[in-house]
Structure 1
Amino acid sequence: MPIWIAYKWAEIDFDDLPARKGYSRRKAYGQSKRACLVFAYELQRRLAAADYPTRSVAAHPGLAKTNLDQYFPAFVRPLGSLFLQPASQGALPILHAALGENLKGGEFIGPAGFQQMRGYPTQVDSDESSRDEKVADRLWQVSEELTNIRYLDDKTGY
């Protein structure tokens, strides 16, 4: 599993979601990506349990040349062209996740190339904790509390 993939940088800190005890942009970014992945898996479980035909599929772009590279360390930026793919290529996994007719839901799509840095879309693996149902249920509950919106209660429907 490539360590550069952002969700690997952090676990979800339920005791300090807004990072009031100390902000790290790397940790905050990683936590947001992990939350998105965990939420996507949980949404698919709830949709399936409620017998909805809607699918939830997660995706990541790999390393794409966007304005985010301005946040790379200065010594890394000149090497970007060796590793970064065009933004249009980075969009392909997201488009495949949204439009892929062969997807059942619950998949994670990323680039097929070396270390998932670049390449055409394929199904990729995520770590075990991204599929932890206890974490997912807690994230779902916190999301409902923070938004004051209830969706798919108890994994059985509205």
Structure 2
Amino acid sequence: MGPLALFGERWTERDVPDQTGRIAIVTGANTGLGFETARVLAGRGARVVIAVRDTAKGEAAAARITGDVTVQKLDLGSLASVREAAEQLRTRFEKIDLLINNAGVMYPPKQTTADGFELQFGTNHLGAFALTGLLLDRLLPVARSRVVAVASIAHRIQAGIHFDDLQWERSYNRVAAYGQSKLANLLFTYELQRRLSSHHNPTIAVAAHPGISNTELMRHTPGNGLPGFSTLSGLVTNSPAVGALATLRAATDPAVRGAQYYGPSLPVASFGLVGYPELVTSSAQSHDVDLQRRLWAVSEELTGVTFPV
């Protein structure tokens, strides 16, 4: 743990309750936050599926984890891959307890997914949206089942959703595009929870953010590679193990309720937030019901995936 992770409410991995008999799907779990999430869940007895684009890296990660861990090929940047993975998971599992949408990309140069979507919006939101819709009926009958979105404090960067240019074809700002994708994660989570509640389902949708965590996700961060960047990052960021605690709390704490948002809240100058996870608030626009519903409709249209709620 980094030195700044010593502050805040001390909810740690030791607080994760027994997960024996539970099935957890964790996307992007070959490294960073996802790996730490999978490690802890498996250590508590869950049957964990690491859903990753590179299965060789996934197998190497699984070999480092003690417990029942398997690997599923999944490329969230391809709706065909999402559908194939969902079908394989549905064949393997009659029920799923946890779907943790952790995988994502941050600040890449302008790129598009296999389906022509801007990479960050397509991967971070549309891929996760489609996967959730295709697997949700495996969660709905299960008591204490949860869909967890790994969002970010960056959701506050972007004012609204660029419905007039969702794919950033007119101009591209990689920081704003990332912020849009993370705002979309929260809008989706809150709308999903409203739909789940209206049907009185036992499944809940919750969100978490890791604060500023020193993971591979930062490889496109401006300044990365400069002398002293790694040392400075280590001083003002959470380690992956601490950053993953917000996800773990959202996924396993019995006190969590639908549409809640967990993350560290200790400010470090202008660098962001570190520390242990607690209940936090998201931006006012993330709670805009009209925005949530409009994004949902557009996401169904773009992915071709409809939900059983």
TM value normalised by structure 2: 0.46
* Deviations 1:83-128 (CA, angstroms, capped at 9, x unpaired): 1111111001011111121111010110142366111111101111
Report the Cα offset of residue 69 of structure 1.
Answer: 2.9
The answer as to 2:237 corresponding to 1:84 is yes
Which structure carries more relative contact order (alpha carbon 8 Å, separation 6+)? 1
The answer as to 2:245 corresponding to 1:96 is no
The structure carrying a bigger helix percent of its residues is 1
The answer as to 2:156 corresponding to 1:8 is yes
What amino acid maps onto 1:53 in structure 2? P
Q: Which runs of 4+ in 1 moved over 3 A?
A: none
**Matching of residues 23-38 of structure 1 within 5 Å:** 23-38=172-187
Question: How far apart are the structure 2 equivalents of 1:109 and 1:49?
Answer: 23
Aligned position for 1:123 = 279
Equivalent residues, number: 150
Question: How far apart are the structure 1 equivalents of 2:303 and 2:247?
Answer: 25
**Matching of residues 62-77 of structure 1 within 5 Å:** 62-74=211-223, 77=229
Identity %: 42
Aligned partner of residue 101 in structure 1, secondary structure: coil
Aligned position for 1:140 = 296
Per mean C-alpha deviation after superposition, the further-off stretch among 49-58 and 110-119 is 110-119
Q: Which has the larger radius of gyration?
A: 2
What amino acid maps onto 1:87 in structure 2? P
Per mean C-alpha deviation after superposition, the further-off stretch among 116-125 and 51-60 is 116-125
Aligned position for 1:113 = 266
Q: Which runs of 5+ in 1 are unaligned?
A: none
Per mean C-alpha deviation after superposition, the further-off stretch among 124-133 and 66-75 is 66-75
TM value normalised by structure 1: 0.87
Question: How far apart are the structure 2 equivalents of 1:141 and 1:68?
Answer: 29
Report the Cα offset of residue 138 of structure 1.
Answer: 0.2
Aligned position for 2:168 = 19
Question: How far apart are the structure 1 equivalents of 2:246 and 2:218?
Answer: 19
Aligned partner of residue 109 in structure 1, secondary structure: strand
RMSD: 1.9
Question: How far apart are the structure 2 equivalents of 1:21 and 1:28?
Answer: 13
Question: How far apart are the structure 2 equivalents of 1:143 and 1:61?
Answer: 25
Aligned partner of residue 120 in structure 1, secondary structure: coil
